[in-house]
Structure 1
Amino acid sequence: MSRRRTRGVAPSTGAPQCTVTVCRGCCCGTPKVPGLDHAAQLSSLKTELDGVARVRAVNCLDACEQANVIVVQPSPAGRAAGGVPVWLGLVNDSDATADIAAWIRAGGPGLAEPPDVLDLYAFGPSRRVRRTLEA
């Protein structure tokens, strides 16, 4: 994953936040990924990150082979520290969701080093897809 080293700076209350984009379109959030309660995953992220990050569901991120996809965009402070959006795919269990939430609570991209296990989920989307999300 492309990211800067931990600075140990957690976002302060009221500071601009990370944005967590959860794909819930074509393949993500559907029976294509059996054994996962998709609504519970989204609800868990919203609950765990309330006041820490903006969590939003979108129709399709066009990375269907990686279902379920979650993109973590850095806060303004994280971006200033060198953080970039991190695309995570195959997020199909509650442990992965919890690891993502813990990393974001610690500051997210640019401000906190993600747990090593998240390297297994990281992938790079096409430039076309990245431009669509980041626009």
Structure 2
Amino acid sequence: MNKRARHAAPAPGTTRPTVTVCRGCCCGTPEVPGPDHTAQLRDLRQALDGTATVRVTDCLDACERANVIVVQPSAEGRKNGGRPVWLGLVNDPDATSDITAWVRGGGPGVTDPPDILDLYTFRPSRRVQAELHDT
């Protein structure tokens, strides 16, 4: 397993969604050619400023799906049954725009994601899911 940065997980009462962006082993590196990784992160932060917490982690251990982004629900979203949504192969600006529009609308448990995001959604192993909450 890859070494991860340790960041605080969202608190149980977090009032807004959290967007975790992988920028480790493969994600956000030249190993994933094409996207402007710096611009992607900047665009997420600018578009979601005041709406969601955007955090970066070293590795989410789903390298075969680089670039990986995880959208975690707000407190309201969790109350409504929302769960973290893992998105892989987020390698174009349109996908990033679809994610930001969904999160601005409330994210998991509040607003249904655009249908196009079904193409990016995946379920990581239970071990990997648990480790996201431990970081």
Q: Give the Å deviation of 1:134.
A: 1.6
Question: What's the C-alpha RMSD, in Å, of the aligned pairs?
Answer: 0.8
Q: Report the alpha carbon displacement of residue 22 of structure 1 after superposing the two structures with TM.
A: 0.2
After TM superposition, the score normalised by the length of structure 2 is 0.88
Give the corresponding residue for 1:12. none
Deviation track 1:60-104 (CA, whole Å, cap 9, x = no partner) reads 000000000000000010000000000000000000000000000
Q: List runs of 5+ in structure 2 lacking aligned partners.
A: 1-13
The amino acid of 1:52's aligned partner reads: T
CA separation in 2, counterparts of 1:57 and 1:40? 14
Counterpart Cα distance in 2 of 1:90 and 1:16:
28
Q: CA deviation at 1:32?
A: 1.1
SS in 2 for 1:55: strand
1:130 Cα deviation after fit: 0.4
Alpha-carbon shift at residue 35 of structure 1 (Å): 1.4
Q: Secondary structure at the match of 2:19?
A: strand
CA distance in 2, matches of 1:36, 1:121: 15
Match of 2:117 in 1: 118
TM-score, normalised with respect to structure 1:
0.88
Secondary structure in structure 1 of the residue aligned to 2:127 = helix
> Residue 6 of structure 1 aligns with which residue?
none
Residue 36 of structure 2 is aligned to residue 57 of structure 1: no
**Counterpart for residue 86 of structure 2:** 87
What corresponds to 2:71 in structure 1? 72
